[in-house]
Amino acid sequence: MRRTAPGILVARSFPGAPEQVGAARRWLQDTLTRTPGLIPDAITAAAVLLLSEAATDAIRHTATGATGGIFTVHVHADRERLAVAVQDGGGAVSRPERMPSGIEDGGGRGLALVAAFAETWGPLPAGSGLAFSLALRAPEPADAVTTTAGARGTREDTR
């Protein structure tokens, strides 16, 4: 499998309006599929999903959602990982953290999705956004096992 060329770094700003989340998703999808080299489709799909969550949170919980607010998406890829950061307008009263949510709740699942898909994630320095990274390489064969149900996991998952 071909890998992404090292050092791809792009950024784009979007107005802090809900309809711009879709524009950011389309831009990231286009950026990742038109980049020299190959980023696996599953990684592209995960990155687009997590960007959607981070941008939505920026609009809902920070100054980004105020009149004239913006958010900026930064993308960096090398041979090992894809890193995406959503820089927001600041002003959040707390740092991003996973919150418990019930089946009837209308929200609260965004950071759970980020935690489930991202290799690493966390707030940007100075609390002005959220960053996540995704591995572009499969785990080493010695680290992967097949469970009795046929699903793949890591050795830690089976203990």
Look at residue 23 and tell me if it is in a domain: yes
71: domain range? 8-158
pLDDT at 111: 78
Q: Are 118 and 81 in contact (CB under 8 A)?
A: no
pLDDT at 28: 95
Look at residue 119 and tell me if it is in a domain: yes
Count of structural domains within the chain: 1
Look at residue 36 and tell me if it is in a domain: yes
pLDDT at 158: 39
Listed range (41-45, 85-89, 117-121, 150-154) with the worst mean pLDDT:
150-154
pLDDT at 143: 47
Q: Are 56 and 23 in contact (CB under 8 A)?
A: no
3-class state of residue 81 by DSSP: strand
pLDDT at 116: 87
Average pLDDT estimate for 76-86? 90
Q: Are 52 and 25 in contact (CB under 8 A)?
A: yes
Closest Cα to residue 95, out of 49, 145, 131, 68? Answer: 131
Look at residue 102 and tell me if it is in a domain: yes
Look at residue 82 and tell me if it is in a domain: yes
Give per-residue burial for 132-143: e unless 16+ CB within 10 Å, then b.
bbbebeeeeeee
Half-sphere exposure of 111 (CA within 13 A, CB side): 16
Q: Return mean pLDDT, the chain.
A: 77
Q: Is the pLDDT of residue 123 over 60?
A: yes
- What is the pLDDT confidence band of residue 85, given thresholds at 50, 70 and 90? very high
The order of strands in the sheet holding 81-87 is 8-15, 70-77, 81-87, 129-135, 120-123
Which CATH number belongs to the domain containing residue 74 in this structure? Answer: 3.30.565.10
Look at residue 98 and tell me if it is in a domain: yes
Look at residue 3 and tell me if it is in a domain: no
Between residues 60 and 18, which one has the greater pLDDT? 18
Look at residue 60 and tell me if it is in a domain: yes
Q: Is the pLDDT of residue 24 over 80?
A: yes
Q: Which residues contact 3 (CB under 8 A, 6 or more apart)?
A: 37, 38, 79, 136, 137
Q: Is the pLDDT of residue 18 over 50?
A: yes
Average pLDDT estimate for 19-32? 96
Average pLDDT estimate for 148-153? 44
